[in-house]
Structure 1
Amino acid sequence: MQPGVGAGRETPTDAGGTRPYRSPIREEAARVTRARIRDAAAALFVEHGYVGTTVRHVAERAGVAGRTVFTVFPGGKSELFHAAYDEALARSGARQETDVRLDTVATTGVDRILDEMTGYSVDLLERAGALMLVAIESAGADEEMREFARQAAADTAANAMTLAEGLAAHALLRPEISVQHAADVLFTVVSPQVHALLRRECGWDVETYRSWVTRTLRASLA
């Protein structure tokens, strides 16, 4: 083998030491393979559920060997699900804190705030709602999915309460609407279950669904 050629190649550093050889082409190929496997898993989870999807199915859909899936995702299905979910959140921008600028409610008005709430929620559900529903539907058969669904519901309920409290603090709820009632409405209207019923089962397009969410929140709270 020629010096410096092969997977174990090392190159000198300025300090006189060595560093592992890095190939941008290989790194890009690895990134593409990881994305292909992750996206294949996401599609299969939605189509067949978490329990009904196997690593073999993922490998076949992604066009790779089963051992490749485990090399890239050593945690198997669990790691695949979380990678798919994290990617969905990243695409929707949902890693950022749910922020509808409640500190400026007094000047922007309730309609603007409800529009922001709706926009954030619909974008999140369009990207990640199907995987949220996978966890909910698989909760009875898989302990990890049960815990995931429980934590997701708890986080959603906490966000809904924060938003309801902000609306109440700026006197934007009708007098007869309690903070808890408002939080319950927010939690339910923008739930992955309702999203799936209207978008998938009833066949609503996204703009019809978005408009319905906005009108329903406005009629129910303000």
Structure 2
Amino acid sequence: MSELVRRTYSSPLREEAARRTRAAIRGAASRLFVRDGYVSTTVRHIAEEAGVAVRTVFTAYPGGKADLFREALDEAVAGPGDSPPVPARPLVRRPGDRPATEADLIVEQVVDYGAAMLERAGGLLMTSVESSGADPDMRRFAEDDARATADNARTIAEGLYEGGWLRPDVTAEHAADVLFTLISPQVHSLLRRDCGWDVAHYRSWLSSTLRATLLR
């Protein structure tokens, strides 16, 4: 009976220790991928950053760097699973502005989701873009993300078009191209990292630019 009790208690403890180890390795890899790039980051660098042995990294992630990057990116894109969704911010209206429409609220929801996701995952997404010419795994990740972003942009644009909310000179295809471009890791990186904008400035610009460019 005592042996059964030890096994019963040790299994959850081992699982929790393994989970913490994976999280430490994943966090270390994410920091190094963003800071140093995918190609320059080795498994040994990741092990040293996480404070574990190289063998431990391969035990936790048998696929090595590509496995690590995929899981880190998926987690960053998805966000914390135990947090409730962040409600859309109220529209900031200035005297003389037209009344807010349902389309305005849709754009705000798109901006809220896109900005929050890029704050979490933009660095890793840019790592895949910047390393795509040197590594086939990174090229695949970058292409997959671009394809998913284009599909989402097309869905949003078609909804705005079918609702009659786009400007008369804006087609659904044009709106999809604008959404795909503006809500991209490249634009986010240029404004947040290179130009030094804070996140509030970025979100405000993105919201006003999308509304002015696309909506009636």
Same structural fold, with TM-score higher than 0.5 when normalized by the shorter chain? yes
- Deviation of residue 180 (structure 1)? 0.9
| Residue 122 (structure 1) aligns with | 115
- Which blocks of at least 5 consecutive residues in structure 2 are unaligned? 82-87, 89-99
Larger radius of gyration: 1
2:29 aligns to what?
Answer: 41
Task: Kindly provide the amino acid, as one letter, of the partner of residue 206 in structure 1.
Answer: V
Q: Which residue of 2 aligns with 1:78?
A: 66
In the alignment, structure 1 residue 202 sits paired with structure 2 residue 192: no
Corresponding pairs, count: 196
The Cα RMSD (Å) is: 1.9
Correspondence 1:174-193 to 2 at 5 A: 174-193=167-186
For the residues of structure 1 that align with 2:50 and 2:180, how far apart are their CA atoms?
36
Give the whole-Å Cα distance in 2 for the aligned partners of 1:52 and 1:167: 43
1:67 corresponds, among 55, 68, 72, to: 55
Between the aligned partners of 1:33 and 1:217, the Cα distance in structure 2 is 42
Deviation string for 1:20-51 (max 9, x for gaps)? 87432222221111100000000000001110
Superposed CA offset, 1:53-110 (max 9, x none): 00000000000011110011111000110111111123166xxxxxx9xxxxxx9611
TM-score by length of 2: 0.86
Structure 1 letter corresponding to 2:115: V
The equivalent position to 1:214 in structure 2, one of 203, 207, 214, is 207
**Counterpart amino acid of residue 31 in structure 2:** A
Gaps of 5+ in 1: 5-10, 13-18, 94-99, 101-106
- Render the CA deviation track for 1:100-136: whole Å, top value 9, x for unaligned: 9xxxxxx961111110110111111111111111111
Q: TM-score, normalised by structure 1?
A: 0.83
Q: Deviations over 1:155-186 (max 9, x none)?
A: 11111011000000000000000111100100
The 5 A counterparts of 1:142-153 are 142-153=135-146
Kindly indicate whether the alpha-carbon contact (under 8 Å) linking 1:92 and 1:124 is maintained by their aligned counterparts in 2.
Answer: no
* 1:161–1:180 Cα contact (<8 Å) kept: yes
User: For 1:122 and 1:139, how far apart are their aligned partners in 2?
Assistant: 23
| Higher RCO, 1 vs 2 (CA within 8 Å, ≥6 residues apart) | 2
